[in-house]
Amino acid sequence: MYSLFDYAFAPTRIVVVSEERLKQAERDATEQRMTAIDQRIEELSKYRQDLAEELKVLSEPQSLEEALTGDA
């Protein structure tokens, strides 16, 4: 079982990374974020298109029978 003192007096861990590896890691992380954003934009665009089509169908006039019975 660990106590608060174990964490307070634990040796610190230092990781040395070259400048090139750091920049590559930053570049990779940025590319991953851009990919995620592009995927989300694609999903939202498709969803918007589906809603626009649904709105178009709902905006079309119905026959009197359909309007009275609620059938579409």
Q: Which residue has the tokens 């969803």?
A: 47
- The predicted model scores a pTM of 0.58
Spell out the residues 6+ positions from residue 17 whose beta carbon is closer than 8 angstroms to its own: 25
Per-residue confidence at 4, pLDDT binned at 50, 70, 90? low
pLDDT, residue 48, reads 97
Enter the tokens of residue 27. Answer: 């570049």
**What are the extents of the domains in the chain?**
18-57
The pLDDT tens digits for 62-72 are 677 766 676 65
pLDDT, residue 47, reads 97
The pLDDT tens digits for 12-26 are 788 888 999 999 999
